[in-house]
């Protein structure tokens, strides 16, 4: 029997809300359904990482995981990348701290990491980069990157940096990706290499960390897990993700 690969997925959180009919006074940890389906393959198990109160328990749990995916969700708190809020976008500093602890463990233990949307932004902040707290507020020349009604049907062309790791997989310098974010990378973190940008406004769409093997530590701003139901023909991100899985298996 071949070895089972356990992919640790950082939790998204729903905090206590007495107006919620169930678990109103409790914090919920969850993985979004499409994300679980995207990761799950034969011999590949997504494992939700609980919010342990003690680091000893967290580290013991992380030791049994082979790689890590950081999923989308709430904004990062501006304080996480050394800024103050400029408006209503306060972010989720509790989740930031929880995920940075996991990311730090993963990188120090040479584990593979795949960041998606918020996950990519978190990685950028970890490496000292910064974010636009709201793209349309801070970049008047930008296109709309998030529409509540269109949601995962909103797409744009993305330019792939020639010679980059992503270029070797796409074999083209122009792909189409979905867009479900109102924040984005402003300054790229130390040691991160840009692999793709939005064709219309230059927003960074993908990067990898130069401190690891090509393709082992990657962040993408789009949502690969939402591609299955898009009306537009998108770049098949499973090609990138499967290469990432191959690095874990080797």
pLDDT at 249: 85
Domain residue ranges in the chain:
5-249
Q: Read off the pLDDT band of 2 (50, 70, 90).
A: low
Active site residue 29: no
Q: What is the DSSP code string of the chain?
A: -PPPEEEEEEPEEE---TTSSSSTTS-EEE--HHHHHHH-BTTEEEEEE---SSHHHHHHHHTT-SEEEE---SPPPGGGGT---SSS----HHHHHHHHHHHHHHHHTT-EEEEETHHHHHHHHHTT--EESSHHHH-TTPPP---TTTGGG-EEEEEEPTTSHHHHHH-SSEEEEE---S-EESSPPTTEEEEEEETTT--EEEEEETTSSTTTEEEESS-GGGGGG-SS----THHHHHHHHHHHH-
What distance in Å separates the CA atoms of residue 50 and residue 58, rounded to the nearest whole number? 8
Mean pLDDT of all residues in 85-99: 97
What distance in Å separates the CA atoms of residue 37 and residue 40, rounded to the nearest whole number? 5
- The 10s digit of each residue's pLDDT in 181-198 is 999 999 999 999 999 999
Mean pLDDT of all residues in 87-108: 97
Active site residue 182: no
pLDDT above 90 coverage of the chain, percent? 98
What distance in Å separates the CA atoms of residue 118 and residue 138, rounded to the nearest whole number? 18
The residues pairing with 218 across neighbouring beta strands, listed in sequence order, are 114, 208
- The 10s digit of each residue's pLDDT in 217-236 is 999 999 999 999 999 999 99
Q: Look over the chain and give the mean of its residue pLDDT values, rounded to a whole number.
A: 96
Which of 181, 182, 198, 225 is catalytic? The answer is: 225
Active site residue 156: no
In this structure, CATH architecture of domain 5-249: 3-Layer(aba) Sandwich (3.40)
Tell me: pLDDT of 56 over 50: yes
pLDDT at 225: 97
Which of 145, 156, 181, 223 is catalytic? The answer is: 223
Which of 99, 117, 198, 227 is catalytic? The answer is: 117
* Ramachandran class of 35: left when φ > 0, alpha when ψ lies in -120 to 50, beta otherwise: alpha
């Amino acid at each position: 029997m071949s070895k089972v690969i356990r992919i640790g997925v950082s939790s998204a959180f729903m905090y206590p809300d007495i107006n919620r009919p169930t678990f109103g006074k409790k914090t919920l940890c969850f993985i979004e359904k499409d994300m679980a389906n995207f990761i799950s393959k034969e011999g590949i198990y997504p494992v939700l990482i609980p919010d342990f109160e003690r680091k000893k328990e967290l580290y013991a749990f992380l030791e049994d995981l082979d790689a890590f995916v950081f999923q989308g969700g709430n904004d990062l708190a501006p304080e996480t990348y050394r800024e103050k809020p400029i408006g209503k976008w306060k972010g989720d500093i509790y989740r930031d701290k929880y995920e940075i602890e996991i990311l730090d463990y993963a990188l120090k233990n040479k584990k593979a990491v795949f960041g998606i949307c918020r996950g990519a932004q978190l990685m950028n902040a970890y490496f000292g980069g910064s974010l636009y707290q709201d793209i349309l507020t801070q970049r008047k020349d930008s296109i709309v990157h998030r529409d509540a009604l269109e949601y995962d049907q909103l797409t744009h062309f993305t330019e792939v940096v020639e010679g980059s790791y992503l270029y070797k997989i796409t074999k083209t310098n122009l792909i189409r990706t979905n867009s479900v974010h109102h924040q984005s990378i402003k300054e790229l973190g130390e040691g991160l290499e840009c692999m793709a940008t939005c064709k219309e406004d230059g927003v960074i769409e993908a990067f990898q960390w130069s401190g690891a093997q090509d393709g082992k530590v990657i962040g993408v701003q789009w949502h690969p897990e939402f591609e299955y139901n898009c009306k537009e023909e998108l770049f098949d991100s499973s090609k990138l993700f499967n290469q990432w899985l191959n690095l874990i298996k080797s």
